[in-house]
């Protein structure tokens, strides 16, 4: 990541995007970021998506989520939140592009 960041800065990139699934849990990332965008959904949707993607049982997914930072802390760390509840990929793309404009892109 450090090498990619150095290269992006040398190329004069206006924005770098880091996908950090456990941003709040890590404790070290937030201070080094200018802004944080969180893509959120309801807990029920989150569980259903993980079960569909991974084939895990609901109890297993619930245990994984319980071991992570609470949703409220993730939302509190955000400068911008996109609610990805019932959006098509095209709608989500528009939301992300709108958020990117607020980052100066």
Which residues 6+ apart lie within 8 Å of 1 measured at CB? 18
Q: How far apart are CA 50 and CA 105, in angstroms?
A: 31
37-61 per-position pLDDT tens digit:
999 999 999 999 999 999 999 999 9
Per-residue model confidence as pLDDT tens digits over 4-36: 989 998 999 878 888 988 899 887 888 888 899
What residues have CB less than 8 Å from 45, skipping those under 6 apart?
85
Residue 83: the pLDDT is 96
Q: In this predicted structure, what is the pLDDT of residue 100?
A: 87
Tokens of 19: 């996908």
CA distance 10 to 3: 11
Asked if the model's pLDDT at residue 105 lies above 70, the reply is: no
d(CA 68, CA 63): 9
Q: Which two tokens stand for residue 14?
A: 């206006």
**pTM score above 0.85:** no
Q: What is the pLDDT of residue 14?
A: 78
Compute the average pLDDT of residues 79-88: 95
């Amino acid at each position: 990541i450090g090498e990619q960041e150095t290269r992006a800065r040398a190329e004069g990139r206006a924005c770098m995007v880091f996908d950090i699934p456990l941003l709040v849990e890590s404790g070290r990332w937030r201070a080094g970021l200018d802004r944080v965008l969180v893509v959120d959904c309801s807990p029920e949707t989150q569980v259903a998506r993980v079960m569909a993607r991974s084939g895990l049982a609901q109890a297993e997914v619930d245990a994984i989520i319980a071991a992570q930072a609470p949703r409220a802390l993730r939302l509190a760390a955000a400068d911008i939140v996109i609610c990805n509840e019932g959006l098509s990929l095209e709608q989500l793309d528009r939301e992300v592009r709108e958020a990117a404009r607020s980052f100066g892109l």
